Amino acid sequence: LALGVLAMRLRVNPTLDRLRSTTDAAVLETRLATTFGLPRDVYIVTHEGTALEPLLEANERLTARLRRDVPAVPIQAPTTLLPSSGIQELRARRVREAVPSADAANAWLESAREAAGFRSGTFAPFVERLPRLVEPGRLTYEEYLSHGLRDLIERFVVRTGDGWMLITYLFPTDAADVARIERTVTSVDHTQTLTGLPLVNRELDERFLPEFLKGLAIGTVMVI
């Protein structure tokens, strides 16, 4: 009976933060994060599928909505590094419309060279690169890997056993932004999942008391 009365003063913190190590290294990590202003509460949107292109298109829609609904929240999206084919083609078309063809540009450069009195071949190195400037190539996941940028791209795009997973990082600072992010993610595409340590902690906190009382009641009935 005495212990039961004293137990009324017991407070339980069920968050995962309490499971963190308290070693000197963990304390140093926390101090460095505070000193350099590193983000602490990171929210993650995951999206999985068998084909990469539809995932990229869905991520562009999500990113556009998030930047409209929560413009103050920093976003690190995979499509910043790897846009969908449609967006890449749109941007390439803008380049083609704004820049003359390689032949026209070469003819203009030759005319300018003669007018300025430069010797023949002065602009040759630039002319050789001109076709690649006028008609830019396409970014692909494989191109990142072939250039030794696996660590960069696989922070956002990961090839799974039979498909792909995309990760988008969000850094909200208040509960109102988190609520708007949750609504936006759900409304854009229900197959995308918002997660992160703060959400897990909140869910654990909400579920702990009902689950504890349920377990206590079942245990009491069994004992009786």
Which tens digits make up the pLDDT trace of 14-39?
A: 666 666 666 776 677 677 767 776 66
C-alpha closest to that of 69 among 179, 168, 198: 179
Mean pLDDT of 32-55: 83
Distance of alpha carbon 133 from alpha carbon 18, whole angstroms: 54
pLDDT band per the 50, 70, 90 thresholds, residue 62: very high
Alpha-carbon distances, residue 193 vs 14, 98, 206 (angstroms)? 23, 40, 19
Distance of alpha carbon 196 from alpha carbon 202, whole angstroms: 10
pLDDT band per the 50, 70, 90 thresholds, residue 104: confident
Instruction: Please check whether residue 49 is in contact with residue 163, taking contact to mean a CB–CB distance below 8 angstroms.
Output: yes
Mean pLDDT of 54-75: 93
Helix axes 124-134, 85-98, angle to 10 degrees: 130
Tell me what pLDDT residue 206 has.
80
Token digits of residue 27: 């304390």
- Point out the least confidently predicted range of 1-10, 126-135, 165-174, 213-222: 126-135
Token digits of residue 69: 């609904």
Instruction: Please check whether residue 82 is in contact with residue 164, taking contact to mean a CB–CB distance below 8 angstroms.
Output: no
* Residue 145 reports pLDDT greater than 90: yes
**Phi, psi dihedrals of residue 44, rounded to the nearest 5°:** -125, 135
Task: Specify the amino acid at residue 177.
Answer: D
148-177 pLDDT, tens per residue? 999 999 999 999 888 999 999 999 888 888
C-alpha closest to that of 47 among 59, 61, 64: 59
> Which H or E run contains 106?
helix 102-116
Mean pLDDT of 69-80: 93
The SS3 call for residue 166 is: strand
- Does the pTM exceed 0.75? no
Find the angle CA(24)-CA(174)-CA(203) to the nearest 5 degrees. Answer: 70
Tell me what pLDDT residue 19 has.
63
Which stretches of 50-107 are assigned E, i.e. beta strand? 75-76
C-alpha closest to that of 181 among 47, 94, 88, 65: 65
Tell me what pLDDT residue 69 has.
92
How much of the chain, in percent, has pLDDT values that exceed 90? 41
